[in-house]
Amino acid sequence: MTTKLFGEPVRRREDARLITGRGRYLDDLGAGALAAAFVRSPHAHARILDIDVSAALDVDGLVAIYTWEDLPGALAEPLPLLIPHPALTHGRTAYPLAREIVRHVGEPVVMVVARDRYVAEDACALIRVDYEIRKPVVGVEEAVRGVHLVHEDVPGNVGAHLVQEVPGPGGVTAREVIEAAPHRLEFRLDIERSASMPLEGRGVYARWDADDGSLRVYSSTQTSTSVRMAIAARLGLPLPKVEVIAPDVGGGFGVKIVHPWPEELLVPWAARLLNREVKWTEDRREHFVSSSHERGQVQHVRVGFDDDGRVLGLDVEILHDHGAYTPYGIIVPIITSTQLLGPYKVGAYRVEFSSVYTNTVQVTPYRGAGRPQGVFCMERTMDRIAAHLGKDRTEVRAANFIQPHEFPYDQGMTFQDGRPLIYDSGDYPEALRMLKELIGWDDFPAMKAAAAAEGRRLGIGVGCYVEGTGVGPYEGGHVQITSDGRVHVSTGLTSQGQGHETVFAQIAATELGVPIEKVSVVTGDTRRFGYAVGTFASRAAVMSGNAIALACRKVREKALRIAAEALEADPRDLEITDGMVHVAGVPSASIPLATVAVLSNPLRYAFDEEAQRATQFAGPASGDRPPVAEGEEPGLEGRGYYSPVRSTFAAGMHAAIVETDPDTAEIKILRYAVVHDCGKLINPMIVEGQIHGGVAQGVGGALYEKMAYDEHGQLLNASFMDFLMPYATEVPRIETAHLETPSPLNPLGIKGAGEAGVIPVSAVIASAVEDAEGIPITGMPISPSDLYALRRSR
Amino acid sequence: MKPPPFEYHGPVTLGEALDVLAEVGPDGKVLAGGQSLIPLLNMRLAAPAHLVDVNRVPGLDGIEAGPAGVRVGALARHAAVERSPRAAAVQPLLRQALRLVAHPVIRNRGTVVGSLVHADPAAELPAVLALLGGSVRLASRGGEREIPAARFFTGPMESALRPGELAVSAFFPALPARSGTAFHEVARRHGDYAMAGVAAAVTLDEDFTIAAARVACVSVGPVPVVVDVTAACGRRPASSVPWDAVADAVRERIEPEGDIHATADYRRHLTGVLAVRALRDAAGAARGEES
Which CATH number fits the domain that encloses residue A174? 3.30.365.10
Is it the case that residue A623 has pLDDT exceeding 80?
no
| Dihedral sign for Cα atoms in the order B265, A706, A690, A469 | positive
**Is residue A557 one of the residues assigned to a domain?**
yes
Q: Give percent of chain A with pLDDT exceeding 70.
A: 99
The CA distance from A160 to A172, in Å, is 26
**Is residue A129 one of the residues assigned to a domain?**
yes
CA distance B30 to chain A (A): 21
- Strand A734-738 to A667-677 pairing: parallel
Is there a single domain that holds both residue A387 and residue A417? yes
Q: Are the C-beta atoms of A336 and A370 separated by less than 8 Å?
A: yes
Is there a single domain that holds both residue A286 and residue A364? no
- Residues in A closer than 8 angstroms to B273, CB to CB, are 663-664
Q: What is the DSSP letter of A363?
A: B
The CA distance from A124 to A140, in Å, is 33
Find which of B8, B189, B192, B195 to mutate to test the A interface (most A CBs within 10 Å of its CB): B189
What is the per-residue pLDDT across B103-134, written as a single tens digit (0 to 9) for each? 999 999 999 999 999 999 999 999 999 999 99
The CA distance from A563 to A767, in Å, is 61
Q: In angstroms, how far apart are the furthest CA atoms of chain A?
A: 94
**Is residue A236 one of the residues assigned to a domain?**
yes
Give the end of a domain, one of A610, A642, A674.
A642
- Residues in B closer than 8 angstroms to A727, CB to CB, are 189-191
The CA distance from A192 to A176, in Å, is 31
* pTM score of the predicted model: 0.95
Q: Which domains does chain B have, with CATH numbers?
A: 7-53 (3.30.43.10), 63-173 (3.30.465.10), 179-286 (3.30.390.50)
Is there a single domain that holds both residue A621 and residue A683? no
Closest CB from B4, B260, B273 relative to A716: B260
- In this prediction, residue A627 carries a pLDDT of 85
Is there a single domain that holds both residue A98 and residue A223? yes
Is it the case that residue A377 has pLDDT exceeding 60?
yes
CB-CB under 8 Å, A727 with B189: yes
**Is residue A143 one of the residues assigned to a domain?**
no
Say whether the ipTM exceeds 0.85: yes
Give the end of a domain, one of A290, A324, A343.
A290
Q: What is the mean pLDDT of residues A730-742?
A: 96
The burial of A318, by beta-carbon neighbours within 10 Å (0-12 exposed, 13-18 middle, 19 or more buried), is given as buried
CB-CB under 8 Å, A665 with B189: no
Q: What is the CATH number of the domain that holds A130?
A: 3.90.1170.50
**Is residue A21 one of the residues assigned to a domain?**
no
Q: Give percent of chain A with pLDDT exceeding 90.
A: 93
- Residues in B closer than 8 angstroms to A118, CB to CB, are 2-3, 5
CA A234 from chain centre, in angstroms, equals 25
Q: In B137-154, which positions are buried (b, 16+ CB within 10 angstroms) versus exposed (e)? A: bbbbeeeeeebebeebbe
- In this prediction, residue A621 carries a pLDDT of 65
**Is residue A683 one of the residues assigned to a domain?**
yes
- Which portions of chain B are predicted below pLDDT 50? none
**Is residue A513 one of the residues assigned to a domain?**
yes
Is there a single domain that holds both residue A693 and residue A563? no
Q: Are the C-beta atoms of B91 and B70 separated by less than 8 Å?
A: yes
A224-235 vs A262-274: helix axis angle to the nearest 10?
50
Closest CB from A285, A716, A792 relative to B1: A285
Is it the case that residue A516 has pLDDT exceeding 70?
yes
- Residues in B closer than 8 angstroms to A663, CB to CB, are 273
What is the per-residue pLDDT across A443-495, written as a single tens digit (0 to 9) for each? 999 999 999 999 999 999 999 999 999 999 999 999 999 999 999 999 999 99
CA distance A685 to chain B (A): 28
Is there a single domain that holds both residue A177 and residue A206? no
Closest CB from A706, A719, A730 relative to B189: A730
- In this prediction, residue A2 carries a pLDDT of 44
- In this prediction, residue A1 carries a pLDDT of 38
Helix (H/G/I), strand (E/B), else coil: B267: helix
Q: Are the C-beta atoms of A117 and B2 separated by less than 8 Å?
A: yes
Instruction: Give me the domain span that covers residue A123.
Output: 32-134+197-290
Find which of B266, B267, B274, B277 to mutate to test the A interface (most A CBs within 10 Å of its CB): B266
- In this prediction, residue A607 carries a pLDDT of 83
**Is residue A691 one of the residues assigned to a domain?**
yes
What is the per-residue pLDDT across A1-58, written as a single tens digit (0 to 9) for each? 345 789 999 999 999 999 999 999 999 999 999 999 999 999 999 999 999 999 999 9
Find which of A287, A663, A705, A729 to mutate to test the B interface (most B CBs within 10 Å of its CB): A663
Is there a single domain that holds both residue A413 and residue A321? yes
The number of folded domains in chain A is 3
Helix (H/G/I), strand (E/B), else coil: A300: strand
CB-CB under 8 Å, A666 with B261: no
Residue B207 near chain A (CB below 8 Å): no
Give the end of a domain, one of A642, A659, A679.
A642
- In this prediction, residue B204 carries a pLDDT of 96
Is there a single domain that holds both residue A556 and residue A628? yes
At residue A421, φ and ψ (nearest 5 deg) are -80, 80
Is there a single domain that holds both residue A629 and residue A584? yes
Which H or E run includes A289? helix A284-290
Confidence grade of residue A631 (pLDDT, cut at 50, 70, 90): confident
Q: How far are the Cα atoms of A35, A244, A368 from residue A32, in angstroms, in the given order? A: 9, 19, 38
What is the per-residue pLDDT across B134-176, written as a single tens digit (0 to 9) for each? 999 999 999 999 999 999 999 999 999 999 999 999 999 999 9
Q: What is the mean pLDDT of chain A?
A: 95
Is there a single domain that holds both residue A573 and residue A710? no
Is there a single domain that holds both residue A342 and residue A214? no
Chain pair A-B, CB pairs under 8 angstroms: 69
Nearest residue to A655 via CA among A416, A443, A404, A374: A443
Is there a single domain that holds both residue A245 and residue A315? no
A761-773 vs A684-699: helix axis angle to the nearest 10?
50
The CA distance from A459 to A445, in Å, is 9
Q: Which residue has the higher pLDDT, A198 or A617?
A: A198
DSSP code per residue over A710-757: -TTS-BTT-STTTS----GGGSPPEEEEE-----TTSTT-B---TTGG
